[in-house]
Structure 1
């Protein structure tokens, strides 16, 4: 079976590959030595699967601080804008839509030759609506409107830092973050996460270091 548009372009067939919503939740907000506010999210590791995609919905700036994988757990820690630390940090975890990932209960279901479900309209698939690369010193804004709900995936983290007087510490941390306001405006720019010493972080050589983001529509999730 194959679905094509008016121009004969294949939109969906039994070779479909993508990512589907596996789980969602609220991140745990906390702090730590040298950290102002961070949000931590996690999901169990399943043997044989590829690394999942995480998208976050939060009204303040956020940027990925680190991602870890143990034998049993994927864990992500995000820098978050201090002024919004009392607001829930929502996350959506998407996993690879391997054959048999869905129950096949939707109005439209596609199966492969082994009778395994490869597409199910009842499943919530990752729907990317925008790709953003933010170069040094060049803020970017986008208007997404308020008819849909959006979340952000960090594809390429970028943070500038200045060392503190204490050896091994960071006196100032400036992530290149992203947020989507309640009015549907996406803002992608550098912001000061913490500062305890003077000085501006050294610009990247040639200004050629970028932060990368995907914007996903999570309206029905």
Structure 2
């Protein structure tokens, strides 16, 4: 049972000495690749922390983007970001949220610790403020949602949606007879679902990830891989 618990007027727990509130541990600028051999643009963001808890990344970027992978090697956390081709060479802002003990010395005017002595709240921190949660299907049409004017927002990606299809090219260039000798031409198309933040508006939609043509020895080698659901949290980073 918590020794100290603070709630707002809606009885939502804001501070509890038995759980940890994430706060801004690092803030910076990222730039995605200007040119690639595929349709999307790519970049990585790395962060080092000795905390046993996983940090969370939020991105402020006006182009459709998503986090395609997260890796951890020892104490280094790396997020792999992809975005629409228009984002090539463009600059965005990232916010990494971690537990207070990872970055704060525990010397704020108000500090709360759990039974293990870990700082669960330090008033010197800038804490995560979740404004909303969005889920979309890969098949959803592009859309947008208005947020509170005058505030500043970033997106924390909870899951990524993508679609990759490899299919036979039409005839020609392929022969009309399926028993004809190869090579056979295939078309490879891939799309991802992303979110974008511009001012007080959140937008979502699909963007091309890759498109190309290649050869395989025979027909019947097509494939399809997908992850149908995208999810993101909108984080209020006003004044951060």
The TM-score range, normalised by the shorter chain, is 0.7 to 0.9
User: Counterpart of 2:198?
Assistant: 181
The runs of at least 4 aligned residues of structure 1 exceeding 6 Å deviation read: 164-167, 201-204
Unaligned runs of 5+ in 1: none
Report how many aligned residue pairs link the two structures. Answer: 211
Contact persistence 2:21–2:121 (CA under 8 A):
no
Q: How does 1:3-152 map to 2 (within 5 A)?
A: 3-6=6-9, 10-30=13-33, 32-34=36-38, 36-46=40-50, 49-97=52-100, 102-112=104-114, 117-139=119-141, 140-152=143-155
Please give the root-mean-square deviation of Cα atoms over the aligned residues, in Å. 3.3
In 1, Cα distance between the equivalents of 2:187 and 2:238?
38
The higher radius of gyration belongs to 2
1:132-166 CA-to-partner distances (Å, cap 9, x unmatched) read 11023224421113311111111111111233889
User: Counterpart of 1:157?
Assistant: 160
TM-score (norm: length of structure 2): 0.73
Contact persistence 2:39–2:211 (CA under 8 A):
no
TM-score (norm: length of structure 1): 0.78
Unaligned runs of 5+ in 2: 170-182, 214-222
Q: Relative to 1, partners in 2 of residues 1:35 and 1:76: Cα closer, same or farther, differing over 3 Å?
A: farther
Structure 1 window deviating more from structure 2 (110-119 vs 80-89): it is 110-119
